[in-house]
Structure 1
Amino acid sequence: MKITLIGSLGNIGKHLVKILVANTNEVTVISSNEDRKSAIEALGAQAAIGSITDTDFLVKTFTGADAVFVMTPPNMGGQNIIENTVNAGKSYAEAITKSGVQKVVMLSSIGAEYENGTGPIAGLYHIENLYRSLLQNVNVSFMRAGYFYTNFYNDVPLIKGMGIIGSNYPADTKIPLVHPQNIAEAVAEELQKSTTGHQVRYVVSDYVNVAEVAKAFGNVLGKQLPWVEFTDEQLLQGMQQAGLPAEMANLYTEMGTAIREGKLQKDFEASGAPQVGSIKIQAFAKEFAGAF
């Protein structure tokens, strides 16, 4: 198959390229960074260097592909984040339509069924609905991933500085978690199989409460590591003091509130809480220890 990927060689892309190339697919990787070209080619893929906001470039790169994997960058700037995310989705949709691609796999998120109240995930709600309306004759798989394990690396300074880990939800809160490698495995499977119409697929490696996350990290670090629940105001202030732009800090705080209220996990649980990934929190904790 001829498969085109957006996401360069990031946390997901570096695993995804290896899997697809090993299965003898002809893979093209889109990157905005010319310096990534040699690394992409070293993995056996072709590099397409250009901007994801350049629709003409996307049309040219998508044309002839049997399938494409699309994802929006996680932050999309410090301002107008939701709008920028949706605009990227619109650009992808236009390029998909003009190029004639018939199979699309989109990286989405748990909670993408809600229009608002989910922080940065709201942008994915709008993209999912955009694809449902504009890509009616295209087979689209919405891969609703859990909370990335790798996001916990943001807590390393807090652990080192105060000996705690936490957020604006209590220790008994369960969160669907996922390893980027497991996302790559699920995406690769979806790209290479025959599908019809539009479908939602959850991609989660483990579903545990955050006290268990703290315990797993503490075990590998050789210390007692308590999970501390912050107020929304404390979390917001802490993120801004750490240098996060105000808009993004507000969105992450809102996402934490949705987790605390069980909103983000609701449809995942209603779908049977499927856990398709093999990398559990204890295994990731060993990777996490490398940050110290």
Structure 2
Amino acid sequence: MKITLTGALGHISRPLAQHLLAQGHTVTIISSNAERKEIEALGGIAAIGSITDADFLARAFAEADAVYAMVPLDFTVPDIRAHSQNIGRAYAQAVRTSGVKRVVHLSSWGAHLAEGTGPIIGSYEVESSLNELPQVSVTHLRPGYFFQNLYRFIDLIKNAGFIGANYGGEDRIVFTSTKDIAKVAAEELTATGSEKIRYLASDDITASAAAQIMGAGIGKPALQWVTFTDEQAFAAFQEAGMPVMIAHLFVELGAAIHSGAIREDYDLHRPIAGETKLRDFAREFAAVFGEKVV
């Protein structure tokens, strides 16, 4: 098969490309010029351009049997929702122009909601654009909270001795490994048919249980995940130098996790169970934790 991937050589697209290339597929990877040599060394075909350019995308999608579409978060844009809408429309236009019949879109838990999910609102917008495509098989992969997001708490653990956010304690979090996402994406891209929406969960545990697992890995078995108020979380983001707009988005996202709204649709579906558990990731976290100097 001929498959085109977006996402450059990121945490998901790199292992995804490796899975597909190992299976003998022809893989084109959309990226910036800086990664051309690395893509070619991997065995892929580099397509250098921007995912906001529908004409470029159409050329990159030409003759492809399937396309993997994702939207990297960009906190430098003034309006994340509008930015995602533009990319979603570019994807949809490129698919129509190129004639691609199979699209696997990296979405997110909470993408069923049109409001109140912070940066995840972008996934809702891209899903909406792709759902309008006629005679195209589209599958939205909806993973949960990436394990890598836990790295942002390293400084707080070292300075304050706990994990803290405006969600925590007994709030249940759907954690997902990017390695598991890559494996499922590879399976979906080469499948003849699939469900419209597929949730992915590597672990589904409380924040307190997650803190215990992470704490055990770094020699802090009593580590706690403290629940802040929205106001406390916003103040902490501001103190860390986060722009006001971005701070508001993350507070909104945290509130959706705390209320359970973000996982309402997830709880109505049987997710694909990932192989990588938080205990596995905890070893990687411990290595980074030990190396990082505050």
Which category describes the TM-score, using the shorter chain as reference length? over 0.9
Amino acid paired to 2:149 = N
Which residue does 2:126 correspond to in 1?
127
**Cα distance, 1:6 vs structure 2:** 0.3
**Cα distance, 1:285 vs structure 2:** 0.6
Structure 2 gap segments, 5+ residues each: 290-294
Structure-to-structure mapping, 1:38-187, within 5 angstroms: 38-133=37-132, 135-187=133-185
Return 2-11 or 45-54, whichever deviates more. 45-54
What's the C-alpha RMSD, in Å, of the aligned pairs? 1.2
Which residue does 2:268 correspond to in 1?
270
Which residue does 1:280 correspond to in 2?
277
Which residue does 1:211 correspond to in 2?
208
**Cα distance, 1:240 vs structure 2:** 2.3
Amino acid paired to 1:48 = A
Residues 128, 142 of structure 1: 8 Å contact kept: yes
SS of the residue aligned with 1:172? coil
Tell me the number of residue pairs that the alignment of Structure 1 and Structure 2 aligns: 288
**Distance in structure 1 (CA, Å) of the matches to 2:4 and 2:243:** 32
Residues 78, 248 of structure 1: 8 Å contact kept: no
Amino acid paired to 2:9 = L
Which residue does 2:292 correspond to in 1?
none
**Distance in structure 2 (CA, Å) of the matches to 1:187 and 1:157:** 33
**Distance in structure 2 (CA, Å) of the matches to 1:170 and 1:280:** 19
SS of the residue aligned with 2:107? strand
Residues 180, 275 of structure 2: 8 Å contact kept: yes
SS of the residue aligned with 1:136? coil
Residues 6, 30 of structure 1: 8 Å contact kept: yes
> What per-residue deviation string (whole Å, max 9, x for no partner) do you get for residues 230-260 of structure 1?
1101111212222222212111111111111
Return 37-46 or 16-25, whichever deviates more. 37-46
**Cα distance, 1:173 vs structure 2:** 0.6
Residues 55, 91 of structure 1: 8 Å contact kept: yes
Return 212-221 or 235-244, whichever deviates more. 235-244
Which residue does 1:29 correspond to in 2?
29
Which aligned runs of 4 or more in structure 1 are off by greater than 3 angstroms?
none
SS of the residue aligned with 2:262? coil
**Distance in structure 2 (CA, Å) of the matches to 1:264 and 1:19:** 30
**Distance in structure 1 (CA, Å) of the matches to 2:241 and 2:100:** 41
> What per-residue deviation string (whole Å, max 9, x for no partner) do you get for residues 190-215 of structure 1?
0001016x600011111000111111
**Distance in structure 2 (CA, Å) of the matches to 1:10 and 1:205:** 19
Residues 206, 275 of structure 1: 8 Å contact kept: no
Which residue does 1:195 correspond to in 2?
193
SS of the residue aligned with 1:290? helix
Amino acid paired to 1:91 = A
Which residue does 1:222 correspond to in 2?
219
**Distance in structure 2 (CA, Å) of the matches to 1:280 and 1:22:** 25
**Cα distance, 1:89 vs structure 2:** 1.0
Structure-to-structure mapping, 1:11-30, within 5 angstroms: 11-30=11-30
**Cα distance, 1:76 vs structure 2:** 4.9
**Cα distance, 1:10 vs structure 2:** 0.6
**Distance in structure 1 (CA, Å) of the matches to 2:256 and 2:134:** 30
Amino acid paired to 1:145 = P
**Cα distance, 1:73 vs structure 2:** 0.9
**Distance in structure 2 (CA, Å) of the matches to 1:121 and 1:26:** 31
**Cα distance, 1:75 vs structure 2:** 2.6
Residues 81, 248 of structure 1: 8 Å contact kept: no
Return 170-179 or 234-243, whichever deviates more. 234-243
